[in-house]
Structure 1
C-alpha cells in the first residue's frame, strides 16, 4: 500500500468553499472528470448533516501495459460519499474506485475545515489516498502503486488549480449579485 497526501489553504471562507464544492466539475483543469451524477442526497434530521452519494465518471490515459494485463477501458467510475456538517463546519468527502478494483483500490478522504488561524477568510484542505494494488508479484504491485501515486499527484495538482478557478468564479457571481442587490436598493 502507498499513501498520497497533500494539504492546501484556500483563501476563501468555509461556507464559500463548501458551496463551490458542488460546482467543482466540470472545470478546465480536471478534464479527466467527464460526469458527476447524484445518486442520493439526504439531510439527517437529528444532526443537520447533509449526506450525498455521487457517481463520478473519469476518462484518462491508462498505460497500455496495465490494459494488456487486465483488459478494460480508459473510462472509470468512482463512488463518492460526502458529509457537510454545518454545526462543526466540516465537509468530508470519501471516495473509492469502482472500476478495476480487482487490480487496484484507491480510498480517498478529503476534508475541508476553517483555518484555525483565519477562520473567516481561509479554509484548510487535507487529502489522503490509500492506494493498494493486487497482483501475484510484489514488484508488479509496487509498479502499479507507484504509477497510481504519480497520476494521483498530477490530477490533485490540476484539481487544485481547477477548484481555485471555480472558487474565483463563484466569488465573482456572489460579488455581482451583491452589487446588483445594492444597486437595486439604491435606485
Structure 2
C-alpha cells in the first residue's frame, strides 16, 4: 500500500469552490471522466448527501490488460457530504471494478482556509493497494505518479468551472438588468401617455 497526500489553496470563497467542485465534470482539462450517474440524494440534519457512480477511462499498456483483464474503463462509487453550516464539503471515492488487483480509496475535503476565510483549502488523501505478484511496487509508484498529474488537472478543472460560473452569473445579471430596464421604460411610457393615472 502507498499513500499520497496533498494540500492546495484556491483563491476563492468556500461556497464558490464547493459548487464548482461538485460540478467539476465534464471539463476540457480532464477528459478521463466519461459518465456520472446519481444513485441517490438526500438532506439530513442540514447536510446534502449524494451518492454517484463515476465512469472513467484510462489508457493502459496492452501488457497490463493481458495480465489483469482490465480494459481501462473504471467505475467508482463516490459519496459526498455538503455541510453549508460548518462550510465543509467532503468526497469519498472507491473503485468498484478491478478491486481484485487494485484498490483505490480517495478522500477530498474542501474547507475555508483558517488564516484567510476568503480562500479555500483542498486536502487530498489517497491510498492505493495493488496485489499483482512481482509488479505491486512498480505499479503502485506508477499509479500514484499518474494520480498526482490527474489531481493537478482536477484542480485546474475546478478553476475552469469557477470561470464559467462567473460568466453564467454575469450573463444572467445582464439579462435581468436589461429586462428590468425594459420594464421600467414601458412603465414610464405608459405613465407619460396617461398622466392622470399617475395622480
Same fold (TM over 0.5): yes
What does residue 106 of structure 1 align with?
104
**CA distance in 2 between partners of 1:23 and 1:136 (Å):** 38
Root-mean-square deviation (CA, aligned residues, Å) is 1.5
Match of 1:97 among 85, 95, 98: 95
Matches of 1:135 and 1:50, distance apart in 2: 38
The equivalent position to 1:75 in structure 2, one of 73, 76, 82, is: 73
Does the 8 Å CA contact 1:27/1:166 hold for their aligned counterparts? yes
Report the TM-score when normalising by structure 2.
0.85
Report the CA distance between 1:66 and its aligned residue. Answer: 1.8
Unpaired segments ≥5 residues, structure 2? 185-199
Structure 1, gaps ≥5 residues long: none
1:13-67: per-residue Cα shift (whole Å, max 9, x none)? Answer: 11111122232100001101011111110011xx211110000000110122221
Greater displacement, 174-183 / 64-73: 174-183
Q: What secondary structure, in the 3-state scheme, does the structure 1 residue paired with 2:65 have? A: helix
How far did 1:178 drift?
A: 3.2
Match of 1:163 among 158, 162, 172: 158
Q: How does 1:25-174 map to 2 (within 5 A)?
A: 25-44=25-44, 47-119=45-117, 121-137=118-134, 140-174=135-169
The corresponding residue for 2:194 is none
What stretches of structure 1 move > 3 A for 4+ residues in a row?
178-187
Alignment: residue pair count = 182
SS of alignment partner, residue 122 of structure 1: strand
Task: Give the deviation of 1:117 after TM superposition.
Answer: 2.1
Q: Deviations over 1:125-169 (max 9, x none)?
A: 1111011111334xx111111111011111111111122111111
How big is each residue's C-alpha offset from its partner over 1:66-107, in whole Å with a ceiling of 9 and x where there is no partner?
A: 212111211110110000011111000000011211101000
SS in 2 for 1:17: helix
C-alpha separation in 2, matches of 1:54 and 1:143: 31
**Distance in 2 of aligned mates of 1:77 and 1:61:** 15
Partner Cα separation in structure 2 for residue 154 and residue 56 of structure 1: 19
